[in-house]
Amino acid sequence: MRFSFEPALRRFREAGCAVDGDLVRFDRGFVAERLAEAPGSFTLHARNPERHVVVGGEHLALAPTGGCPFVLDPERGKRPPTAEDHATFVRFTHAVPLFDLNESGIVEPADLPVESRHLDMDLDVLRWSDKPYFAVGATYEGSRDSVDLAAIVFGGRDAIAERPVMLGIVNPISPLFYDDRMAGSLVAYAEGGHAVVLMPFTFAGGTAPLSLAGSLAQIVAEVLAGVCLVQLVRPGCPVVMGGAVSELDLHGGEPRYATAFHGLAMLAAGQLARRLGLPFRGGGGFTGSPVPDVRAMRESLMALWPALLSGAHVILHAAGWIEGSLAASIEKMAEDVAALEVFHDLLAAEIPVDEEALALDAFREVGPGGTFLGAAHTLRHFRERVAAGPREPLDWRAWLERYEDPGMDPAVEEELRAFVARRKRELERG
């Protein structure tokens, strides 16, 4: 595995790994020891204790899409996002009970400076929501800022190291490379004790082999290398394995989503994560459609099914993804929420088997050839079945109208904003 971040290479050398320039070779026993240090499950702590999230076990946490360079405005079409767009998506995510996690960087505000916009986006999720969240840092400095901002809200760096409050996404540069940005971000999150989500996002035939087994082997290698670095920085730091393999259309060059290849890769990646004893982050509602049309929903549903069946503990991009992640659509996000509510009911459902559930009295009352419409059993359960029937999807505006500001201690908010202002000045000076 290649690492271009010198502090990472130094840690590997000190641990006795074979390092040749920027190339690191991993011993099987060394990897097994580091893997054993990573917990199989952990808790993310929220500002609101009722919103704590367990990652691992039988639990599933959902989050919307993120990292989009454009927004698909329902009224003005596709355009660059603004800071207000980002805050709107954060409020929407907070208002939807189905979302367990908020997301810093749902869209990338084009009206904010690139070098400092991560501060504003993290401030949004800390101020306008009290759910655990994905942080946006994508460099050592940016991720360190994310940890420092969280420390202001949650009682200091020592406190959040013991009680992680956020997930940090780290995407290896496939194949088999962690550059300065990604390795640096990994180190900063691990230093702060926060969960690191290692998410290879590969395209078979492009950034991974044009075979399912080869692509999966590459994902595992990239994840295990990241696990080793996380544990060298802070033994016991939580790590989440991600894995998404999509096909590349070798004629036109565009990604293909919601194919059988993608679904099988997701199911197999979930099994591999369980084999390694790591929580698993599955893919989301992927689509290549540029608009929230029938094609978009069909592809998203076909991509969500294997993600849910894979046993994923976290699903990012569960709603709002459009045009291969080029844009976020609040309109599609609302439609995706309606679909996710059905999935949620399916996953949470239990089938009771007792005399009342088997409706033995109804069979005796109705008899062969009869109808259950007027049976006493039907009348007893009529209202609960009506309540559990199909729900009309809420318009995105209706969800925003449901948003309630969670509030924040004015002194904490003042300290947050002062930190953001100071760091912006430092970044402007270079």
Instruction: Note the pLDDT tens digit of each residue in 15-63.
Output: 999 999 999 999 999 999 999 999 999 999 999 999 999 999 999 999 9
pLDDT digits (tens, 9 = 90+) for 386-407: 666 556 678 999 999 999 999 9
CA angle 162/277/340 to nearest 5° reads 85
In a domain, residue 400? The reply is: no
Q: Which domain holds residue 227?
A: 2-347+410-428
pLDDT digits (tens, 9 = 90+) for 222-277: 999 999 999 999 999 999 999 888 888 888 878 888 899 999 999 999 999 999 99
Please give the mean pLDDT across all residues of the chain: 95
Question: Residue 91 sits in a domain of what CATH number?
Answer: 3.20.20.480
Q: What is the rounded distance in angstroms from the CA atom of residue 37 to the CA atom of residue 42?
A: 13
Q: Which amino acid is at 117?
A: R
In a domain, residue 194? The reply is: yes
| pLDDT at 389 (0 to 100) | 59
Indicate if 150 and 237 belong to the same structural domain. yes
Indicate if 317 and 223 belong to the same structural domain. yes
Indicate if 180 and 256 belong to the same structural domain. yes
Indicate if 293 and 371 belong to the same structural domain. no
Indicate if 208 and 146 belong to the same structural domain. yes
Q: Is the pLDDT of residue 94 over 80?
A: yes
pTM over 0.85? The answer is yes
| Mean pLDDT, rounded, for 94-109 | 97
* Contacts with 194 (C-beta within 8 Å, 6 or more apart), sequence order: 135, 147, 150, 160, 164, 165, 166, 167, 168, 237, 238
Indicate if 288 and 264 belong to the same structural domain. yes
DSSP H/E element including 248: strand 244-248
Count of the separate structural domains present in the chain: 2
Q: What is the rounded distance in angstroms from the CA atom of residue 174 to the CA atom of residue 141?
A: 23
Indicate if 374 and 246 belong to the same structural domain. no
In a domain, residue 397? The reply is: no
Indicate if 304 and 207 belong to the same structural domain. yes
